[in-house]
């Protein structure tokens, strides 16, 4: 297995004057489950499509399983599973026909798993694609992506249209395939609770760059919110090293920091003659704090 | 209220196709001014029917672009939920079509010197028929549309129309009849648009492969109809072709191309549609022939060229319609195990195969019927061969345009390029009409040009972004 199944180096993508990806550097370690976070329009789908070789980057380099993304061989593609954000399948095929159509391209295909997932997701294989809801289409795309047991699974907002039961089943399936540590999963999502449940790493995309890339536990360990209560009013422009969002009101300040070291805390306490309380943040809070302009 | 209407009217300046059309019209206006300055008359250069046809084509295209765009605006959830949405849109759309129908003939009359009222009446008939097709692009409407085209191919009809163009006063009743008929058809289209709902099949079928419609919006409309027939055809298709071959991947080029064609039932869908197309049109021609010939005699030899001409668009229209739908699925298919080069080769080969299936369906069925019933002797053999070679080369040219434009995955742009491409072949059709077609020159040009464009399309597909 390759050390980094996905390796992006200074990856750029421009649409005329609009810069979507502005030098993205990202190495996704083998066996990890990485959640890609970012606001709408930050370029998550563009990043995924560049990695899959669907679109050509304006600059930089993208590699998947050791191969240039733009020139992926059939053998490498057979080791990759993909769930697109918008699933489009041939409307005139039935679910079974669509599955069989895709199955024929793969050297390995676990039809038992397909049957199980169809049952778990409650998808009728005899139904025609055209009459299915977006959520059911997404379920089929997930089945198609898992059926050949890929080494690398790339999912673009896979649970966006799923109902709670299907989402639970999907996350369970994801955990099941990730548990042996042999598969690498990259998935973009807005649902941070899903990400917290299955991801061990997180990459946050902001302004066309990777703002954070690392262990999810480290992120939650590092990023804290400081609640500062001073004796005198705090100056509105008060800043601290590593602080990325501050709200100051009279004697009170709420400041989010990348790392709340003991030195920093004692420095604030002595500088402002203040009491500093450190608050833990969940992933959603961290995301909101990081994306607040 | 005025600003609302002005805002809606402003929409007709936003799409690229409209801007290009306005630029072309401005160019023609400049040409008209230049003609006045140098006292030239285009009628010295081209015969009036050719000029008239160009004006007719431009007017009908612009008017129907307006109808198509109006439908794009009406077939949305806003038209059902936003208060007072439909009426201003329908009124602005009607004004746009009226301006297009009257404006272009008036604008270019300085150059073409044709009688205005009969020209406007003909444009209105063409635009209303094509507009109906824009509103309801079903096989039924398509057949009626091409039957109307076939109707114009009859010498008697052409003669009557040319008399109407030359002596409008003597044919005032016919002009009034054409105008009244087209206004009635426009009225019907507008009435249908005023009550268009999401569960109506017309809501969905704007243009095949349209990216503006979400799947949930078309779900209701997708029940039943052509898609069910297709699903049934595929279900009846020999099982081994779609049976999963677990652990036995498709290794040869031919096997992979063949498998990629599973989604069109291995070409059986285009083939059957091609046969259906030709047979239905032929049936209509027979009916028209009955209506015209007092003795009700069948003269297939006379209508043979018409059948060929009418069956010619079968493959381009049916295949591009099927493949426009398929084009939106290609990004997903691109992630299946195949290198970019293999994927493009296999996909293009599938397109060519489907196209040839459809063409063969239309061609063989019309040819078989013609030979079975006509009085053609051996004297006409060279002409028959020459016609066949000519139409085959035309099919290659049309296929190359489809392959070239398909990569944009934009139906509007593809249709626009195809219409412009077809307009460029007009001089050749005029040559046919005057019996002055140089087969020895035209066939190689079509073939070489077609294959060159096809090769260029392949090279461009290799670099295409699958957004």
Instruction: Map B280-309 to HEC letters.
Output: HHHHHHHHHHHHHCCCCCCCHHHHHHHHHH
Q: What is the DSSP letter of A188?
A: E
Query: Which of left, alpha, beta for B266 (phi over 0: left; psi -120 to 50: alpha)?
Result: left
Residue A153: per-residue pLDDT: 94
Decide if A90 and B263 are in contact by the 8 Å CB cutoff: yes
Decide if B234 and A104 are in contact by the 8 Å CB cutoff: no
A82 neighbourhood in chain B, CB within 8 Å: 332, 335
Decide if B231 and A94 are in contact by the 8 Å CB cutoff: yes
**pLDDT-derived band of residue B112, with 50, 70 and 90 as boundaries?**
confident
Residue B270: per-residue pLDDT: 81
Min CA distance, B426 vs chain A (Å)? 36
Query: Which of left, alpha, beta for A207 (phi over 0: left; psi -120 to 50: alpha)?
Result: left
pLDDT exceeds cutoff 90 at B99: yes
Listed ranges A272-286, B195-209, B233-247; the one with the highest mean pLDDT: A272-286
Min CA distance, A120 vs chain B (Å)? 21
- Its pTM stands at 0.77
Residue ranges per structural domain of chain B: 2-204, 224-462
B467 neighbourhood in chain A, CB within 8 Å: 49, 54-55
Query: How buried is B459 (Cβ within 10 angstroms: 0-12 exposed, 13-18 middle, 19+ buried)?
Result: exposed
Establish if B240 touches chain A: CB-CB under 8 angstroms.
no
Chain A residue set in contact with B, beta carbons under 8 Å: 49, 52-56, 70-75, 77-78, 80, 82, 84, 87-94, 97, 99-109, 111, 128, 130-134, 137
User: What are the structure tokens assigned to B180, written together?
Assistant: 């009244």
A75, A77, A89 ranked by CB distance to B335: nearest: A77
* pLDDT (average), residues B359-384: 69
- Report d(CA B249, CA B260) in Å as an integer: 13
A77 neighbourhood in chain B, CB within 8 Å: 335-339
Per-residue pLDDT of B229-273, as tens digits, reads: 655 555 555 444 455 555 566 778 888 888 888 887 777 778 878
Establish if B216 touches chain A: CB-CB under 8 angstroms.
yes
Residue B240: per-residue pLDDT: 44
Decide if B329 and A88 are in contact by the 8 Å CB cutoff: yes
Give me the phi and psi of B271, to 5 degrees please. Answer: -60, -50
Decide if B339 and A74 are in contact by the 8 Å CB cutoff: yes
A74 neighbourhood in chain B, CB within 8 Å: 337-339, 342
- CB count within 10 Å of CB B85 equals 16
Give me the phi and psi of A193, to 5 degrees please. Answer: -65, -35
List C-alpha distances in Å: B235 to A123, B187, B262, B276, B303. 19, 41, 10, 20, 38
B241 neighbourhood in chain A, CB within 8 Å: none
Q: Is A201 helix (H, G, I), strand (E, B) or coil?
A: strand
B242, B463, B466 ranked by CB distance to A54: nearest: B466
Establish if B241 touches chain A: CB-CB under 8 angstroms.
no
- Report d(CA A8, CA A26) in Å as an integer: 5
* pLDDT (average), residues A175-179: 78
Listed ranges B75-79, B215-219, B383-387; the one with the highest mean pLDDT: B75-79
Give the percent of chain B with pLDDT over 90: 24
Domains and CATH numbers, chain A: 6-216 (3.40.50.300), 223-290 (3.30.70)
User: What are the structure tokens assigned to A277, written together?
Assistant: 């309380």
- Report d(CA A286, CA A230) in Å as an integer: 24
User: What are the structure tokens assigned to B185, written together?
Assistant: 């058809």
Select from B15, B3, B165 the least CA-distant residue to B92.
B3
Select from B279, B308, B314 the least CA-distant residue to B383.
B308
Select from B119, B103, B91, B105 the least CA-distant residue to B182.
B119
Establish if B35 touches chain A: CB-CB under 8 angstroms.
no
User: What are the structure tokens assigned to B9, written together?
Assistant: 């009217």
Establish if B252 touches chain A: CB-CB under 8 angstroms.
no
């Amino acid at each position: 297995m390759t050390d980094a199944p996905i390796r992006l180096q200074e990856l750029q993508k421009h649409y005329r004057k609009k810069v979507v990806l502005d030098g993205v550097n990202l190495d996704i370690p083998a066996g990890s489950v990485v959640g890609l976070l970012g606001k709408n329009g930050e370029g998550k789908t563009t990043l995924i499509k560049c990695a899959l070789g669907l679109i050509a980057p304006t600059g930089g380099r993208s590699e998947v399983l050791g191969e240039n993304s733009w020139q992926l061989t059939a053998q490498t593609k057979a080791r990759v599973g993909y769930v697109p954000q918008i699933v489009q399948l041939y409307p005139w095929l039935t679910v079974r026909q669509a599955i069989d159509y895709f199955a024929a391209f793969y050297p390995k295909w676990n039809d038992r798993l397909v049957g199980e997932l169809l049952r778990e997701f409650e998808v009728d294989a005899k139904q025609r694609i055209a009459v299915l809801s977006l959520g059911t289409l997404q379920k089929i795309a997930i089945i198609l992506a898992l059926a050949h047991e890929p080494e690398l699974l790339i999912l673009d907002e896979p649970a966006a249209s799923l109902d709670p039961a299907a989402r639970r089943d999907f996350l369970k399936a994801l955990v099941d395939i990730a548990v042996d540590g042999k598969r690498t999963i990259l998935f973009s999502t807005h649902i941070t609770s899903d990400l917290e449940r299955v991801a061990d790493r997180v990459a946050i995309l902001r302004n066309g760059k990777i703002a954070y890339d690392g262990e999810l536990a480290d992120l939650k360990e590092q990023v804290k919110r400081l609640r500062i209560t001073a004796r005198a009013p705090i100056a509105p422009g008060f800043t601290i090293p590593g602080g990325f969002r501050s709200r100051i009101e009279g004697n009170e300040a709420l400041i989010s920091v990348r790392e709340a070291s003991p030195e920093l805390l004692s420095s604030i306490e002595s500088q402002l003659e203040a009491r500093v309380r450190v608050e833990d943040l969940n992933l959603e809070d961290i995301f909101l704090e990081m994306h607040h302009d | 209220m005025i600003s609302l209407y002005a805002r809606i009217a402003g929409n007709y300046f936003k799409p690229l196709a409209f801007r290009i059309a306005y630029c072309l019209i401005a160019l023609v206006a400049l040409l008209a001014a230049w003609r006045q300055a140098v006292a030239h008359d285009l009628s010295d250069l081209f015969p009036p029917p050719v000029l008239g046809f160009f004006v007719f084509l431009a007017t009908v295209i612009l008017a129907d672009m307006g109808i198509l765009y109006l439908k794009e605006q009406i077939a949305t959830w806003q038209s059902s939920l936003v208060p007072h949405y439909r009426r201003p849109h329908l009124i602005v759309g009607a004004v746009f079509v009226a301006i297009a129908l009257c404006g272009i003939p008036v604008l270019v009359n300085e150059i073409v010197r044709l009688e205005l009222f009969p020209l406007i009446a003909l444009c209105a008939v063409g635009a209303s028929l094509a507009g109906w097709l824009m509103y309801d692009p079903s096989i039924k409407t398509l057949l009626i549309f091409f039957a109307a085209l076939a109707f114009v191919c009859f010498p008697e009809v052409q003669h009557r129309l040319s008399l109407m163009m030359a002596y409008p006063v003597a044919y005032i009743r016919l002009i009034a009849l054409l105008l009244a008929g087209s206004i009635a058809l426009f009225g019907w289209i507008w009435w249908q648009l005023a009550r268009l709902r999401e569960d109506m099949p017309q809501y969905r079928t704007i243009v095949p492969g349209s990216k503006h419609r979400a799947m949930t919006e078309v779900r209701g409309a997708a029940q039943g109809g052509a898609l069910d027939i297709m699903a049934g055809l595929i279900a009846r298709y020999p099982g081994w072709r779609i049976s999963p071959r677990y652990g036995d991947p498709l290794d040869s080029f031919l096997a992979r191309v063949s498998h990629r064609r599973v989604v069109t039932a291995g070409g059986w869908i285009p083939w059957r549609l091609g046969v259906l197309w030709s047979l239905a049109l032929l049936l209509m021609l027979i009916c028209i022939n009955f209506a015209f010939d007092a003795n009700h005699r069948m003269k297939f030899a006379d209508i043979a060229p018409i059948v060929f001409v009418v069956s010619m668009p079968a493959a381009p229209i049916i295949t591009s319609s099927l493949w426009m739908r398929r084009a939106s699925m290609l990004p997903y298919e691109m992630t299946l195990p195949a290198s970019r080069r293999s994927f493009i080769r296999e996909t293009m080969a599938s397109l060519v195969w489907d196209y040839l299936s459809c063409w063969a369906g239309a061609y063989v069925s019309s040819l078989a019927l013609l030979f079975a019933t006509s009085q053609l002797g051996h004297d006409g053999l060279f002409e028959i061969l020459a016609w066949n070679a000519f139409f085959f080369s035309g099919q290659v040219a049309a296929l190359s345009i489809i392959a070239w434009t398909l990569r944009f995955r934009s139906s509007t742009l593809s249709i626009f390029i195809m219409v412009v491409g077809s307009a460029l072949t007009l001089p050749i059709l005029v040559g046919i009409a005057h019996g002055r077609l140089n087969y020895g020159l035209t066939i190689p040009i079509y073939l070489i040009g077609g294959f060159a464009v096809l090769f260029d399309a392949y090279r461009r597909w290799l670099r295409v972004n699958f957004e």
